[in-house]
Structures are given as structure tokens and as C-alpha cells.
Copies of this chain bind each other. A is one copy, B any other.
């Protein structure tokens, strides 16, 4: 009789140790944010992380009070983590496939901020609209 097909799991449940290094990087970026107001981005998909590493990292960072959804060429979601100033960002393509994931360390995730050129364009439009109405 053949032995049953038992999945082989290493002692760390698939963790490579790289996720802990990412947590250390988040710590360094938060320290930088407080000292210089400059945070930074970590490209999760660009790192040698296993699926277990990613789950571990998300569990470590936890969930905060803010969720942002953006619909700009596909959907993006920005979740505040339990650590204020640390944001988990997911981008999806137009077929809803997850195409990139980042951790951003910033007071405000950059994507949300209105660009002055766009504000100016909007103000011009609003003025035309108001002129039409009166």
C-alpha cells in the first residue's frame, strides 16, 4: 500500500523570514516620516515573499479605521492598517485581477490627494456652470 499524499510543510508554515524584514522596513519608514515628513513605498510584489509571508504581514499590520476605494483605470483599494500612517494599497486591472500591492508610509496616501492642475481645471468648469445657471 502506498503512503497517502501528505503535503510537506516546513517548520515555519511557509514563512521565509522575509516578511519580518518588511516589518523592519516599515518601522524605519515610520521613523523617517516622523523625523523628516518623508515616508516611502514598499512594492510587495517586487519582494521574494511567499503567500504565507503576505498573509502573515497583513495579519501583523492589522486593520485601521479608513478604507478608500478609487476607480481610476481599474479599481484600487487603500486600507489603513492598525499603525497610523501605514497604508496597504491594492491595484486591480479592468478585469478585476490584482496587479500590484504596496505598503505606503505617509500621513495621507498620495493617490487620494487632488492635483492643483485638476483643481484649477475643475474651478474653470464650475465657473462656466455657474455662468450658465445665472
Contacts and interface: CB of A to CB of B under 8 A. Distances in A.
Q: How many copies does the complex hold?
A: 2
Contacts of A2: none
Nearest to A37: B116
B118 A24 contact: no
Nearest to A67: B69
B108 A113 contact: yes
Contacts of A72: 65
A83 B126 contact: yes
Contacts of A89: none
Interface residues of A, number: 45
A118 B84 contact: yes
Nearest to A27: B126
A83 B24 CA distance: 40
B108 A34 contact: no
27 contacts: A20-B130, A20-B134, A23-B126, A23-B129, A27-B126, A30-B119, A30-B123, A30-B126, A34-B120, A34-B123, A60-B129, A65-B71, A65-B72, A67-B68, A67-B69, A80-B114, A82-B122, A83-B122, A83-B123, A84-B118, A84-B119, A84-B121, A84-B122, A85-B114, A86-B122, A107-B116, A107-B119
